Amino acid sequence: MAETSRMMYGHTYEQWMDPARLAKRAQEEWDKYQAMSDAFDLVQDKEHWKNPIDAVIPEEKRSIVEQAINYYAGGGARFVPAGEGKLRVAAPGYWGNGF
């Protein structure tokens, strides 16, 4: 099989390695990382980011906060209504998840 015909995520090697596509993918990954970092900043313990999480967030941030907790602290987030469009989020944190 020729190198040029390999498929990567549904694209040929040339398509995958195209500089414009590389730049776009890199920017998308950076934007996703920044969004998760900002979301984790909302909920992380202020003394140490590895401590358990207990915070109140706007409901519309639930999805990105859950992704951020999974990424940085290993998951375990529980969300409960806190009234007026807010959610209380609790998670065991990085150390609590055995890391």
Residue 67 falls within a domain, yes or no? yes
Total domains in the chain come to 1
Q: Is residue 65 part of a domain?
A: yes
Q: Does residue 3 lie in a domain region?
A: no
Q: Residue 95: its pLDDT value, please?
A: 95
- Tell me, what's the pLDDT at 16? 82
Range of the structural domain that residue 47 is part of: 10-96
**78, part of any domain:** yes
Residue 82: CA count within 13 A, CB half-sphere: 14
Query: What does pLDDT average to in each consecutive run of 10 residues of the chain (99 residues)?
Result: 64 86 92 96 96 97 97 95 96 92
The amino acid occupying position 66 is: E
**Structural domain includes residue 5:** no
**Cβ-Cβ contacts under 8 Å for 43 (sequence gap 6 or more):** 53, 55, 57, 65, 68, 69, 89, 91
Please check whether residue 35 lies inside any domain of the structure.
yes
Model pLDDT, residue 1: 46
> What is the pTM for the complete model shown?
0.79
Tell whether 1 is covered by a domain.
no
Residue 13's pLDDT is: 84
State the pLDDT at residue 4.
Answer: 53
CB contact at 8 A, 53 and 89: yes
Structural domain includes residue 21:
yes
Rounded distance between C-alpha atoms, residue 8 and residue 6, angstroms: 7
